[in-house]
Structure 1
Amino acid sequence: MRTRLLIMSLFTALTMLGCENSGTGFPRGSCDAPGKPACPDYPIQLIIEPDDTELATGTSLQYQAIAVYNAAGKVDVTDKVIWQTANTDIASFNDDGQLQANIPGTTQVNGQLPPQVRGASTLRDSAQITVADKTLSQLKMLPASSIILTDIQVQLSTIATFDDGSMQNVKDSAQWVSFVPQVASVNQTGLVTGQLPGATDVSANYSNETVMAEIDVSGLMPRELSITPIVFTLPRGFKQAFQAILVLEDGATLDVTDQADWAIIDENIARISEDGVATALKPGVTGVRAQIFFDSRTEIMVTPLTVTNATLTELAVQPEGVELPEQQKQEFAAIAMFSDGSTLDVSRDAIWRISNPAHAVVTNSFANAGIVKARTAGDTLVGATIDNTEDFVNVDVSDATLTGLTISPTTADTPANTRVDYQAIAQFSDMSSLDVTPYVSWNSSDTNVAIIDNAGIATAILPGFSNITANYQGQTATTTLDVNTASLTSLDIEPDDATLLPGASRQYVLTASYSNGTTANVTDDAAWIVDDTNIVQIAPAGRFAGIAKAIEPGSATITAIFSTLEQTVSVTVENPAAP
């Protein structure tokens, strides 16, 4: 059952301590007291992550430091923290918070944040790191293949699976080589940059194992730069992360979020960070702009952003009533509900807490916020706080042990250029089960036939058979993927010739027909573009693919690109005053 701590939240308690010379804020009486000025925004708590982890000898890990502020929520302060370990023989830091695992053993990791404003206190937090000798069982490159452009980059990763079943990204410990550096160069952390059109392989060697990635530096021209989410509405004081997607002539899509120059048209209404996170400041209508520079070209896109005066009425942490075996993970979400009936996923920016850290830990780092890892058996609460509103749900950590792993679908038969979404389910000694899809190591036995990413999404490439295998904490499951010889014959978009009012949304669906008489929904596999983004905008790819929003009266053409075919439909946006 959901529990709400309405009288004294952990967040409020920390704030009070921060103002009373607790070592987590201002000295008592320096502000917010009779005759004293109001307290400025200042950090009241430091959180370093990961909280408790294990590394293989000779590898490294980037730590992250999050400061909880009295008013502005949480801020990444990794570059401001002084990093140390209790035993530098076991593990040691560089100045940027990257830890190097040296010899086997366990030691304490310490982070210290100097005062950020005048009168504030130094904040500290600690964690534990264990370094162990491990034997490499498997090394995998992600992504296995990439399409980029000149001056466009892609980050490669090398995922090591060790003999104890643990997995670790060892990209910073691998030796990277580009076979044709004139086409694409690679640095020593696996960041690839396109130089000239062409193809090359990039290799990574770790612990005498070598894996490869195929890099295609395309000479095709871009058809559209898109921003998602499109035509967004955001309550004042809240944040939204935007993504920049470049669609090429052949329908290939490139995520260029990290390389885009982000801006807000009217900075009085909102502001945006270098990584595309917008903060709503005051009610009004403005635009989010992304600009990409590559190969002596510039692409620009603007999507409308409306800031409202809606107020937060409730926060809900989901899911409820979770039972989680020891050493397993569960992702939670924090959903904010507002006075105008709108909702917003605030998981990234919420402050996450665990009532009993002996039973579980929860992450606050922005990319992984809300992920709970069970430690020891017992009950605990996981909670999220934002804008002085909070919600908590119960987590029952059991001592059940992992007994098996299954994959679904058990068999799959699909044409080339389509995707199959796999799911991995872990079984435990108490007869419970858990979706562990994001945490397993996925592999395809024949990458010429199909490849699979770390989310369990397989892409069919050429006709043939490939075994899809999932490895998780010593358990293995395998299924067969059959890529058939059916050829694509036609595409159909629904709805056809839609009419919308400004502000309305419509989900478009793309259906592919094949020579063997089968059909498939390929909405998420296609690239979507529109010829007049002043009239209508459409999400080009990903989980929002095919969702269009009307902006102003007029007519436009929506195009879906899939494999070797394209299909178009017309859309009309009518003036609401028209009969």
Structure 2
Amino acid sequence: MFRYQTRLLGASGRWLFGLLMLTLLAACNGDKKDPVLSPEPVEGLVSIVISPLNATIALDLSQQFSATGIYANGTALDISNEVSWSSATTAVASISEQGLAQALEPGSSVITASFGGVSADTLLTVSDVALVSIQLAPVDATLYPGVSWQYSAIGVYADGTSSDISAAVSWLSGSVAVATIASSPDAAYGVATGQAAGSSQISASLGSISAQTTVTVSNSSLSSIVVQPFNATTVVGVSRRFVATANYADGSAIDVSRSVVWTSGDSQVASVNESGAANSGLATGNAMGTTQIIATLAAVSGSAELTITDATLDSLVISPLNSSLAAGQNKQYTATGIYSDGSSENLTALVSWTSSDNAVALPGADMTASSGLIAALSAGTVQIGAAMAGVTAEATLSVTTASLSSVSVTPLTSSIALGLTRQFTATGIYSDGSTVDISDTVVWASADSQTATLNANGSTDSGLATGLAPGVVQISATLDNMSAAATLTITNAGLTGISVMPQNPAVVAGLTRQFNAIGSYSDGSTADLTTLASWTSDNVAVATMNASQAANSGMATGLAAGTAQIQASYAAVQASTTLTVTAGTLLSIAVSPANAAALVNETEQFSATGSYSDGSTANISNTVVWASADTAVAVLNASGQFNSGLVTAIAAGTTDISATLGAVQGSAELSVNPALADNPQAPVMGELQRFIIIASQAITTTAGSAIADGDLAILDLARSSYAGFTAGAAAGQFTELTNGVSFAPDDSTPPYVVPAPYASMVAFINQVRTDLGVAATFLAADPNPAVATQALPAELGGLVLTRGVYRNAGNVIIQQGNLTLDAQGDPDSVFIFVIAGTFTTGAPGGNVVLSGGAKADNVYWRTGGATMLGSNTSFAGNVLAWPQINLSTGADVTGRLFSVTEQVTLDANTVTKPE
């Protein structure tokens, strides 16, 4: 029996927004009584939803349940602390007043939540599968006096599954004089705090199973604290998260956001969340002005500047605007606020979310981690609404009865060295051809937990496997009795060297530079060690590093002019490079493209490049404040995010897109043209734009193939998976490939060249993989944001089709004649074909003919089965196939060939990337 946590609303935890959230919650709900602020029954409560539904946990573990109240106006609120919780079979499981259930013996019990005469039930099953081991993280960590670190305990069970048991184990520090560790809910389970220099064993035990690791508390002195972002801007009522990184005399860095004392220089302008909480460092604008956000630890302080503007909320934009889900799926919506000064803010957690029919789709509770997460329940069409400060917006969601057809796990085949990790992804393929990332919903299992284990199910990094011993193991994902597996090989290759990339760069004081650590192994393989390595700077007055073994490890921040040696260490192997920090001042900002055009509902990515007095330039797109001069024409993603600068065209017209940092501003012009009638929205291609062929596993060819005007990439296996190609004069070149190069995850630099602005080949490949998944998922979705879907016949030969989205749930062929795609005189016409089954072309017809100005670049083929192009046929368009793509002898393609999970095979073919 599996122990996992299903999630109707996807809330595995709650954000602790404190008093701010309570105040906002009251404001968002107007004169409606608040179940959090008042114990009285709430008018309009129509139902309660318990999450997770039908959970299964192991003996001795606990399960946190949450209750969401659904109101007559469609609002959903978290009422977990107000409902009365009960367990029908107390011998199997007890439950606290806060909804924490404790497994006592194998069996099942009905869990009930009741409030104001309304109640809801779910089933909790307690399994008796044996716990076989515990894994602790981090391993052999280093702390400093007064600094805390969160430990986690992952339980590995006899069936190969894993669960987070951090709250169930007994935590113990061997020397409390060196480090203490919390083992109670009041103090947060597994939080260790350094007390004095020395070493202590940290242990976690549950029953007869235990695990240990060593924590070392260093007596290195605290040199400085860096608070980031250095300069931030927001509006009254909206929050900014600050992070404090402590830099020590030994060059190491650690995230101390939970350990510092946070203060605001002017609490009238901005207040900051209390210290010690999970959301410490969250500052909220109270009034227009500028203040310092200060972090202090052991008499050492660091600060950053926060400016609060008095811009007013003009409108809200919900994304996605039009979407489709199968019943049982979830989709995360985003609410972006557009302000009177043209700036934008992510308000997803602050708006009040509603559904026009909660029986069809249900929003997650407002002001929680599940804000904006919509659960599709039954077939129908609903309006998803967001409201804040009297401003509202709506999006349309269609819920279908599509059922889960199969599960796919990627990468199918991969290899890692002992001790390293591999992230697996589970994708659900549905009967209507749509695909959904279900990695955090499936039950992950390792066929041999002695060889490899997986992160706990239901967590943000579910599917992350760790190699424990040399061997071959099957990694499986299961949902609704459907499973898929991938093969992971763990080698005993030894680490022979580390390369720190880029080599000897320069950065302006106040800006950041991302470094990557690439490990080389004795079997010739390479691995990205960026988040595993320990990073240090030998001159923390010049440059500091982000905390080691964190998501943003390897990022250096320039503080003052000078040089610093940046070093990465892992498994007793180390490497370094020199970072030069200059004292240049920002002179100008160039926004590109300088003159862009888009159709209504399309997006356009802008970037900001800063030019400095020392002659250097830097990409500052994520640092500037973006604004649109006319938000009725186009709006921007919120500033300070990874996709800042992405513009969405709203209506025909012209607007200036500006990027501002301090007193310096740059701008570019965007012209928005009316959308063509019945013209689909094309996917955002990102890094895919440069490629002509991409495959997960292999790209093979026979003699006589000619590939032109694009790059090749293998995403999940080594360069050796290119077969049949002839090496060119330089690394990555093939004689069969004209005007392009090839990439693979194990390419070392030099001799291979990493595309700008990426710091390593692994980072670049990871972005390509992400962009491919985003585009493939967008194309499979129904409906397209711009037009409704039309039926696609099984035989396309002899047809003439105009722009639109066409879908077939089975197999499709082009055989009895040619398929003509007619743009009717408009080259911006987009054609999207979604085929759930196989797609085959061949004699006596089998050609795709473009007419009326149609362009191959605007034609997309999204196939759920194998794609096979027949001998000597002519084909046009971008193929994004879930499995393999096979070209028979002499097939001629103008387009792109992308295989998400398998390979692309050529046989004396001509493939040309479209213009």
TM-score (norm 1): 0.70
Q: Is the 8 A contact 1:137 1:162 kept in 2?
A: yes
Residues of 2 paired with 1:51 and 1:303: CA distance? 39
Residues of 1 paired with 2:63 and 2:216: CA distance? 30
Residues of 1 paired with 2:386 and 2:101: CA distance? 29
Q: Is the 8 A contact 1:451 1:458 kept in 2?
A: yes
Residues of 2 paired with 1:168 and 1:383: CA distance? 35
Worse-superposed segment, 487-496 or 252-261: 252-261
Give 1:559's match in structure 2, choosing from 537, 543, 566.
566
Give 1:570's match in structure 2, choosing from 552, 574, 580.
580
Counterpart of 1:487 in structure 2 is 496
Counterpart of 1:38 in structure 2 is none
Q: Which deviations, in whole Å up to 9, do the C-alpha atoms of 1:263-313 show, x marking residues without a partner?
A: 222223210112322101233332322334xxxx56543233232344444
- Secondary structure of 2:53's aligned partner: strand
Q: Is the 8 A contact 2:288 2:310 kept in 1?
A: yes
Equivalent AA in structure 1 for residue 84 of structure 2: Q
Q: Is residue 178 of structure 1 aligned with residue 172 of structure 2?
A: yes
Worse-superposed segment, 416-425 or 433-442: 416-425
Q: Which deviations, in whole Å up to 9, do the C-alpha atoms of 1:302-352 show, x marking residues without a partner?
A: 233232344444433334544333333333333334455544333333333
Q: Which deviations, in whole Å up to 9, do the C-alpha atoms of 1:24-82 show, x marking residues without a partner?
A: 69xxxxxxxxxxxxxxxxx99999875563345876444568999xxxx999897xx54
Counterpart of 2:832 in structure 1 is none
- Secondary structure of 1:487's aligned partner: strand
Q: Is the 8 A contact 2:353 2:386 kept in 1?
A: yes
- Secondary structure of 2:378's aligned partner: coil
Counterpart of 2:436 in structure 1 is 434
Equivalent AA in structure 2 for residue 200 of structure 1: Q
1:423, distance to aligned residue in structure 2 (A): 2.0
Counterpart of 1:11 in structure 2 is none
Q: Which deviations, in whole Å up to 9, do the C-alpha atoms of 1:246-278 show, x marking residues without a partner?
A: 567888765543343222222232101123221
Q: Is the 8 A contact 1:160 1:167 kept in 2?
A: yes
Counterpart of 1:324 in structure 2 is 325
Residues of 1 paired with 2:83 and 2:234: CA distance? 36
- 5 Å matches for 1:468-479? 469-473=475-479, 474=481, 475-479=483-487
* 74 and 231 in structure 1: CA distance in 2 versus 1, 3 angstrom threshold: farther
* 104 and 426 in structure 1: CA distance in 2 versus 1, 3 angstrom threshold: same
- Secondary structure of 1:439's aligned partner: coil
Worse-superposed segment, 455-464 or 190-199: 455-464
Equivalent AA in structure 1 for residue 172 of structure 2: S
- Secondary structure of 2:123's aligned partner: strand
Residues of 1 paired with 2:564 and 2:101: CA distance? 52
Residues of 2 paired with 1:203 and 1:452: CA distance? 17
* 446 and 89 in structure 1: CA distance in 2 versus 1, 3 angstrom threshold: closer
* 562 and 273 in structure 1: CA distance in 2 versus 1, 3 angstrom threshold: same
- 5 Å matches for 1:404-483? 404-414=406-416, 420-442=422-444, 445=448, 452=455, 454=459, 455-456=461-462, 458=464, 464-465=470-471, 467=473, 469-473=475-479, 474=481, 475-483=483-491
Residues of 1 paired with 2:100 and 2:151: CA distance? 18
* 560 and 540 in structure 1: CA distance in 2 versus 1, 3 angstrom threshold: farther
Counterpart of 1:388 in structure 2 is 390
Residues of 1 paired with 2:314 and 2:558: CA distance? 28
Equivalent AA in structure 2 for residue 203 of structure 1: A
Q: Is the 8 A contact 1:139 1:209 kept in 2?
A: no
Counterpart of 1:268 in structure 2 is 268
- 5 Å matches for 1:111-260? 127-136=120-129, 143-146=136-139, 147=141, 149=143, 152-158=148-154, 171-172=166-167, 174-178=168-172, 180=174, 182=176, 185-188=181-184, 190-194=189-193, 197-198=198-199, 200=201, 202-205=203-206, 210=209, 212=211, 214-219=213-218, 221=220, 225-246=225-246, 255-260=255-260
Residues of 1 paired with 2:466 and 2:28: CA distance? 56
Q: Is residue 367 of structure 1 aligned with residue 363 of structure 2?
A: no
Q: Is the 8 A contact 1:51 1:127 kept in 2?
A: no
Worse-superposed segment, 410-419 or 477-486: 410-419
Q: Is the 8 A contact 1:334 1:346 kept in 2?
A: yes
1:434, distance to aligned residue in structure 2 (A): 1.3
- 5 Å matches for 1:85-100? 85=85, 94=96, 96=98, 98=100
Larger strand proportion, structure 1 or 2?
Answer: 1
Q: Which deviations, in whole Å up to 9, do the C-alpha atoms of 1:383-427 show, x marking residues without a partner?
A: 433443343333333334434333322333456776543322223
Residues of 2 paired with 1:45 and 1:287: CA distance? 43
- Secondary structure of 1:214's aligned partner: strand
> When the two structures are aligned, how many residues end up with a matched partner?
518
Counterpart of 1:110 in structure 2 is 114
Q: Is the 8 A contact 2:51 2:66 kept in 1?
A: no
Counterpart of 2:348 in structure 1 is 347
1:513, distance to aligned residue in structure 2 (A): 6.3
- Secondary structure of 2:426's aligned partner: strand
* 234 and 253 in structure 1: CA distance in 2 versus 1, 3 angstrom threshold: same
* 186 and 535 in structure 1: CA distance in 2 versus 1, 3 angstrom threshold: closer
Q: Is the 8 A contact 1:227 1:539 kept in 2?
A: no
Name structure 2 gaps, 5 residues minimum: 1-25, 36-41, 275-279, 588-612, 615-915
Q: Is the 8 A contact 1:509 1:521 kept in 2?
A: no
Q: Is the 8 A contact 1:550 1:573 kept in 2?
A: no
Residues of 1 paired with 2:212 and 2:391: CA distance? 46
1:126, distance to aligned residue in structure 2 (A): 5.7
Equivalent AA in structure 2 for residue 348 of structure 1: A
Counterpart of 1:116 in structure 2 is none
Residues of 2 paired with 1:45 and 1:171: CA distance? 38
Counterpart of 1:284 in structure 2 is 289
1:184, distance to aligned residue in structure 2 (A): 5.4
Counterpart of 2:357 in structure 1 is 356
- 5 Å matches for 1:299-314? 300-314=301-315
Equivalent AA in structure 1 for residue 582 of structure 2: T
Aligned CA RMSD, in angstroms, stands at: 4.9
Equivalent AA in structure 2 for residue 110 of structure 1: S
1:125, distance to aligned residue in structure 2 (A): 7.7
**What's the % identity of the aligned pairs?**
18
Q: Is the 8 A contact 1:84 1:92 kept in 2?
A: no
Q: Is the 8 A contact 2:85 2:99 kept in 1?
A: no
* 104 and 468 in structure 1: CA distance in 2 versus 1, 3 angstrom threshold: closer
- Secondary structure of 1:278's aligned partner: strand
Residues of 2 paired with 1:312 and 1:162: CA distance? 54
- Secondary structure of 1:53's aligned partner: coil
Residues of 2 paired with 1:461 and 1:240: CA distance? 38
Residues of 2 paired with 1:45 and 1:266: CA distance? 40
* 53 and 566 in structure 1: CA distance in 2 versus 1, 3 angstrom threshold: same
Larger relative contact order (CA 8 Å, sep ≥ 6): 1
TM-score (norm 2): 0.47
Counterpart of 2:514 in structure 1 is 508
Counterpart of 1:115 in structure 2 is none
Equivalent AA in structure 1 for residue 427 of structure 2: I
Residues of 2 paired with 1:236 and 1:16: CA distance? 15
Instruction: Give the number of the structure whose alpha-carbon radius of gyration is greater.
Output: 2
Q: Is the 8 A contact 1:511 1:519 kept in 2?
A: no
Residues of 2 paired with 1:127 and 1:477: CA distance? 36
